[in-house]
Amino acid sequence: MEATIRIVHLLAAAVWLGGTVALVFAGVPAIRTLEGEARGRAMRELGRRWRPWGWGSMGVLVLSGLWLADRHGALNREALLHTDFGRVVLAKSLLVAVLIGGALLHDFVLGPRLAREIRAGRPQRTRPRLVAVGWTNFALTVTVPVLGGVLVSMLQ
């Protein structure tokens, strides 16, 4: 059972990380070449199609990660604070929480706000915050699996 959960966890991480890399370095730059309503429509469609995959994989990651951490005795206060394994689990969990908060902010607050500013022809004041949150999320998206690798190495 544990091997199956680990595989599911890794596959969900591959979807999240791979999808994020594809969006950041292929999808969004390609859409930036468009102008006006075509650009907005393409960005909305990209987000609409990615969200079920991205958020679905994040849900699987959280659930399988909690199961794996519990399986290795890391989900109690004593282990989280007083073992190396527990401290890495705690750090990873905190970064995942920040990542989820940042993704929610990006997808459901700042992204729609910027779209409204663009449609209304107003100055794009939201863009710098959206970009900063996006790059922070990207950095976390790369960092969290690295911590997962550290955790696996600690089990050896």
Q: Where are the beta strands (DSSP E) in 4-122?
A: none
**Domain range annotation of the chain:** 2-155
CA distance 1 to 34: 48
User: Digits of tens for pLDDT over the chain (156 positions)?
Assistant: 989 999 999 999 999 999 999 999 999 999 989 988 898 899 889 999 999 999 999 999 999 999 999 999 998 999 999 999 999 999 999 999 999 999 999 999 999 999 899 889 899 999 999 999 999 999 999 999 999 999 999 987
User: Is the Cβ–Cβ distance between 125 and 112 less than 8 Å?
Assistant: no
Report residue 106: phi and psi, to 5°.
-65, -50
